[in-house]
Amino acid sequence: MILLARRTSETQKTLEAIVRRLSNSHREYSNYDENLRRLKAGHAGEQRVDAEWLEIDLPTPYYFLHDFQTMNNFGSTHQMDTIFLCRHFLLIVEIKNITGVLSYDTAFAQLTRMTSEGKVEGMTDPVLQLERHVGWMKKLLHQEKFQLPVLHAVVLATKNGILSEGFHGQPIFHVTGLRTHLQKWFDRHQPVETENLFRFAMHLMSLHSTIKREVKVPLE
């Protein structure tokens, strides 16, 4: 059951309106157009992974919360691409639609990619992002007196993201591997009571609040 559906973000809608209005020759057009392109690519990647879930037989009951957003007690935000909640575990998924050769240095917690043009770019470490979300989720489960394993994974939405040896042992795989990893996790973790699962899912829904991100509107 999808409790929280994925929708086009307000930021993307705002950027689409700005790009439509701006002339191609405007000094800031390329910046807005590039930001919009990245948001669209990210959303397309999320939809690709969402479609993969539809082809997998999942043990009922289960709940999906897509693009879950909330704020912790310290005023910091948490935004999770997908939360999958079932009787066996809670899985937090970070979806990346990244092309190129990807490298990961665990010592420096550094993710880089080499583009088809040979350019090397540094990127935010998605594993650290997930570990932060996992810590928050475990505290929440403890507060609610509900015991459930919390798992996390980075899912690549495109086959054009090539993983290098540095990712060995990290919770990251291509979308086509989702079915295999889920089955492994189902086999590893014993199911809990259904009633507590639904109660916790509803509690998560009560904490969700869309985080507004300001987009500077350019001058003519």
pLDDT of residue 149: 96
Q: Report the percent of the chain where pLDDT is more than 90.
A: 58
Mean pLDDT estimate for the chain: 90
pLDDT, tens only, 6-21: 988 888 888 888 878 8
Per-residue pLDDT at 31 exceeds 90? no
pLDDT, tens only, 114-164: 988 888 999 888 899 999 999 999 999 999 999 999 999 999 999 888 998
8-state DSSP, 206: H
pLDDT, tens only, 156-193: 999 888 998 888 889 999 999 999 999 999 999 999 88
Q: Concatenated DSSP letters for the chain? A: -EEE-----HHHHHHHHHHHHS-TTSTTHHHHHHHHHHHHHHHHHHHHHHHHHHTS--PSSEEEEEEEEEE-TTS-EEEEEEEEEESS-EEEEEEE---EEEEEETTTTEEEEE-TTS-EEEE--HHHHHHHHHHHHHHHHHHTT----EEEEEEES-TTEEE-GGGTTSSEEEGGGHHHHHHHHHHHS----HHHHHHHHHHHHHH--PPP---PPPP-
pLDDT of residue 10: 82
For the entire predicted model, the pTM comes to: 0.90
Per-residue pLDDT at 1 exceeds 80? yes
